[in-house]
Amino acid sequence: MKKIGILNHKISSVISTMGHTDAIAIGDCGLPIPKETERIDLALIKDIPTFMQTLKAVLLELQVEEVEIANETKKVSPQFYEEVKKELGQIKINFITHEELKERLKKCKAVIRTGEQTPYANIILKSGVIF
């Protein structure tokens, strides 16, 4: 049995195969996931697991060089946005429309669906390199 890190085998597998600039997304329970993108569904009940719990776990294992967040997030869910910004630290944030974000999900290796029910609680993480 794995001793540390992400125990979910699908998430662990996707992260371990990611190369520079590959992307993985984390979304709320209402985010429409394209048919062609792998869905890793963690949603159990309302807010379990939360977006932030999932983001923190993924950031422990994935080297992220930049993220994409919908412009609408800052306006509609400002407290949530501030919490995400704090967790990201110095990682570059690019703002796009929610429609652009949904379109870009098609190029992600996977989308992790959480139980989060905060509007616009979605992010695309772009892999960096560790050297």
Q: Give residue-wise pLDDT tens across range 9-19.
A: 999 999 999 99
Q: What are phi and psi of 118, to 5 degrees?
A: -90, 130
The pLDDT of residue 121 is above 90: yes
The pLDDT-based confidence of 3 (bands split at 50, 70, 90) is confident
Q: Is residue 59 part of a domain?
A: yes
Alpha helices in 1-69 (DSSP H): 9-16, 51-61
Q: How confident is the model at residue 2 (pLDDT cuts 50, 70, 90)?
A: confident
Our answer to whether residue 9 is catalytic in this structure is no
Report the CATH number that the domain containing residue 91 is assigned in CATH: 3.40.1650.10
The backbone torsions φ and ψ at residue 13, rounded to the nearest 5 degrees and listed phi first, read -65, -45
Q: Give the pLDDT confidence score for residue 9 in this predicted structure.
A: 96
Q: Which domain holds residue 69?
A: 22-127
Query: Chain-wide mean pLDDT for the chain?
Result: 97
Task: Please check whether residue 103 lies inside any domain of the structure.
Answer: yes
Average pLDDT over residues 95-114: 98
* pLDDT surpassing 90 at residue 52: yes
Q: What percent of the chain is predicted at pLDDT more than 70? A: 100
Determine which one of 20, 46, 75, 106 is catalytic: 20
Picking from 125, 121, 118, the residue whose alpha carbon sits closest to that of residue 93 is 125
Please indicate, yes or no, if residue 2 is contained in any of the structural domains.
no
Residue 69 lies in a domain: yes
- Give pTM, 2 decimals: 0.96
Work out the number of other CB atoms within 10 angstroms of the CB of residue 12: 14
3-state SS, residue 42: coil
CA dihedral 102, 105, 107, 112 (to 10 degrees): 180
Task: Please say if the pLDDT value at position 71 is more than 90.
Answer: yes
State the total domains in the chain.
1
Which amino acids are annotated as binding site for substrate, given as ranges?
28, 98, 120-122
Cis peptide bond upstream of 49, omega within 30: yes
